[in-house]
Amino acid sequence: MELVEFEKQLNTYLAVELFQDYCPNGLQVEGRKEIQKVATAVSANEQTLQAAAKRNIDALIVHHGLFWNRDPYPLVGSKMRKIKYLVDCGISLFAYHLPLDAHREVGNNWGAARQLGWSALDEFTEIGVRGEVSPIPIKAFVAELESFYDHSAAFALGGSEMIASAALISGGAYKELSRAAKAGVDCFITGNFDEPAWSVAYEEGIHFIAMGHSATERVGPLALADYIQSDLKLSCEFLDIPNPF
């Protein structure tokens, strides 16, 4: 597939025009004009780029790209090394941030909720999801999440013993805990945490679970790789680069 057509297909499928984001979504670094082999990953770090080059990837699609709104302008240090590496290897870099969080088919949040078996799914903020779960003890629910994300949880169990609803926003959304409490859900799940979340959970009577920023944002790239294989008919694999954070 031609690079231009590939970008058009992805931008349309992920509806990039709907989002005011903190970064450019879509093609960030232009490589070869013809796309045959594709890979997805969570972040465009050097280890990911090296893994893509080793596999002769033509296009790499990540959730966390190389450019963010408040970045300094000079291309120096590791950013320059990564851009030069992509150009030298002829790899096109695509990044989809909020679009890959929010997508109802291949997104980090709706995709996880469906795979976890939640029902009555509804939007929660611009990118998250809320739903009902079969009544379950909270500690059993934490264990279920740890198994699903293959990552240990940090948590503050401020709610009741049994839960029947949850909300999820992948990544760094711990500040939405109060909104989840106001929405009346029993449990709020995100990727990372900070000190205030502990007190908020107990004061607002809600469970808070942090499953790791990177771990909660593997779901979308994995699902997008399947979509590219099945619908765009291109070879695509997920590059599973370890990141405990």
Equal fold, 3-101 vs 108-213: yes
CATH of 108-213, one of 3.30.460.80, 3.40.1390.30, 3.40.50.300, 3.90.1010.10: 3.40.1390.30
Domain range list for the chain: 3-101, 108-213
> Domain 3-101's class?
alpha beta
10-15: long-range contacts at Cβ-Cβ below 8 A with a sequence spacing of 24 or more? 10/61, 10/94, 10/96, 13/227, 14/96, 14/99, 14/100, 14/103, 14/106, 15/99, 15/103
Q: What is the pTM of this model?
A: 0.97
> Contact at 8 Å (CB) between 166 and 159?
no
Q: How far is Cα 172 from Cα 194, in angstroms, rounded to an integer?
A: 10
Q: Kindly provide the b/e burial profile for residues 163-190, where b requires at least 16 CB atoms within 10 angstroms of the residue's own CB.
A: bebbbbbbbbbbebbbbbbebebbbbbb
Could you list the pLDDT tens digit for every one of the 245 residues in the chain? 999 999 999 999 999 999 999 999 999 999 999 999 999 999 999 999 999 999 999 999 999 999 999 999 999 999 999 999 999 999 999 999 999 999 999 999 999 999 999 999 999 999 999 999 999 999 999 999 999 999 999 999 999 999 999 999 999 999 999 999 999 999 999 999 999 999 999 999 999 999 999 999 999 999 999 999 999 999 999 999 999 99
